[in-house]
Copies of this chain bind each other. A is one copy, B any other.
Amino acid sequence: MSEKAGVVEGWVSNVKTVGKITFIEVIDDLSISPVTVVVKRDSVDAETWSKASSMKIGSAVRVEGVFPDIIVSRKGRELQAKAITVLSEPIELPPIDLTGKTPASFDLYVDFRYLALRLPRFRAVFIARAKLVEFTREFFAKNGFLEVHTPKLVGAGAEGGATLFTVDYFGQKAYLSQSPQLYKQMLMCGVPRVFEITPYFRAEKFSTPRHLNESWGLDVEMGFIEDEEDVMKVLEEFIGASINYLRMEVGDMLKTVGLSLIDPPSSIPRITYSEIIDILNSIGYNIQWGEDLDTQAEKSLGEYLSAKGTPIYFITKYPWDAKPFYIMREGDNLSKSFDLDIKGIEVASGGQREHRYHELVQNLKAKGLSLEEFSFYIKAFMYGMPPHGGFGLGLDRLLMTFLGLSNIREVVLFPRDRFRLIP
């Protein structure tokens, strides 16, 4: 006999009594397949049988028993119950069907996220998210980047004040950081490579499935570069490696819940902004050089390039006028910038930065920004600031595009938009 005594703790997702046997499905651990607890009336005492046959779906239970050699139920794991403890019972009918048979509305799955997490599909997505975050850290730490934490309460925003939440900071006006941009650049005057995993805050009145007012991102900055190509190489390697890691770690789990990962790219093409304009104009758009791409144009571009086998691509050399002050110019009108897009959705944005003090001051002035407000930042460019570059990447957006999901709210536990501050 190789039967092993064991304990299962988790939530009841289904109960069925067939004659003298009750089958209780229990979601335990961080797995997406339930354990089937088998309770035989002839093998347990009357109290245990009564608990089993009157078990409420949604209850938190602890079951002691044995893992049998031969499995009766169709779903992977099985425990023959000896004793059952009901730890907690629903005191009203759960607002979403915990057996997973009847789907609920999108909003109910957000409002009751903790209940949704008992269902395989939601559980799988948030396990994948944790794995992506884990891999991100390991990748950059292994590549010699120092993990840092920069302030979220700041006196100046990287792109001016218009899109910042304001905070009353002991009578002073403070902002919530929309990115570590200024701080990670200042650090380039003291350490060669940094990264940060951090919440971003942005006070814009978005109404799209790809924007939130609070989300988590990865910021990377590296010194002593030749140009922005050095940065793109690191990002390119990260993208491929992270898809491969997720495939290995959670590929099967995702498949079980009907989700599939994007294919890892063998390489990511660099397409210039000018080429992008030509492509768009060749498929019916009429965009002047220098104009920003709107959501519809981005989407069409994504469809066009995906159809050509290129769902992941860099857009390089934007007009400098379309980029923030800290991006280095290339010639008179261009910039050493890039965006990384996946199927028409921008997931990262970066470039080489202007590291030369006088040129940086000129750039600030050209964008109409206050030298006074940014004085703490430009000071860092006076003491041997090396050439550097980096990028900011939306981790939520990255996972959303990796999984082909259409709404960023599917990968954020408690999303924040202007209509949703609770829960």
B-facing mask of A201-228, CB < 8 A → 1, else 0?
Answer: 1010100000001101000000110000
B-facing mask of A1-35, CB < 8 A → 1, else 0?
Answer: 00000000111100000000000000011100000
Which residues of chain A from 97 to 153 have a CB within 8 Å of any chain B CB?
112-118, 123, 126-127, 130, 133-134, 137, 141, 144, 146-153
- A186 & B153 in contact (Cβ 8 Å cutoff): no
Chain B residues within 8 Å of A62, by CB: 224
Is A172 part of the contact surface with B, judged by Cβ < 8 Å?
yes
- B165 & A166 in contact (Cβ 8 Å cutoff): no
Is A191 part of the contact surface with B, judged by Cβ < 8 Å?
yes
Is A380 part of the contact surface with B, judged by Cβ < 8 Å?
yes
Is A423 part of the contact surface with B, judged by Cβ < 8 Å?
yes
Is A154 part of the contact surface with B, judged by Cβ < 8 Å?
yes
- A416 & B147 in contact (Cβ 8 Å cutoff): no
Is A167 part of the contact surface with B, judged by Cβ < 8 Å?
yes
Is A189 part of the contact surface with B, judged by Cβ < 8 Å?
yes
CB distance from A255 to the nearest CB of B (A): 20
- A201 & B421 in contact (Cβ 8 Å cutoff): no
Which residues of chain A from 368 to 386 have a CB within 8 Å of any chain B CB?
376-377, 379-380, 382-386
- B127 & A413 in contact (Cβ 8 Å cutoff): no
Which residues of chain A from 141 to 185 have a CB within 8 Å of any chain B CB?
141, 144, 146-156, 165-170, 172, 174, 176, 183
- A134 & B141 in contact (Cβ 8 Å cutoff): yes
> Quick one: closest B residue to A185, CB to CB?
B114
Is A404 part of the contact surface with B, judged by Cβ < 8 Å?
no
Chain B residues within 8 Å of A133, by CB: 147, 149
Is A69 part of the contact surface with B, judged by Cβ < 8 Å?
no
Chain B residues within 8 Å of A169, by CB: 165, 213, 418, 421
- B60 & A148 in contact (Cβ 8 Å cutoff): no
Complex alpha-carbon distance, A176 and B10, angstroms: 33
> Quick one: closest B residue to A156, CB to CB?
B422
Chain B residues within 8 Å of A192, by CB: 9-10, 28-30
- A421 & B126 in contact (Cβ 8 Å cutoff): no
Chain B residues within 8 Å of A418, by CB: 169-170
Complex alpha-carbon distance, A216 and B198, angstroms: 11
- B130 & A141 in contact (Cβ 8 Å cutoff): yes
- B134 & A88 in contact (Cβ 8 Å cutoff): no
Known contacts A92-B382, A190-B116; is A167 also within 8 Å of B170 by CB? no
Is A44 part of the contact surface with B, judged by Cβ < 8 Å?
no
Is A283 part of the contact surface with B, judged by Cβ < 8 Å?
no
B-facing mask of A246-286, CB < 8 A → 1, else 0?
Answer: 00000000000000000000000000000000000000000
Q: Hey, which bits of chain A sit against chain B, CB under 8 A?
A: 9-12, 28-30, 58-60, 62, 87-92, 94, 112-118, 123, 126-127, 130, 133-134, 137, 141, 144, 146-156, 165-170, 172, 174, 176, 183, 186-193, 198-199, 201, 203, 205, 213-214, 216, 223-224, 355-357, 376-377, 379-380, 382-387, 412-414, 416, 418, 421-423
Q: 9 closest pairs, A vs B, by CB?
A: A117-B190, A114-B190, A60-B386, A376-B423, A114-B189, A9-B224, A130-B147, A170-B418, A155-B422
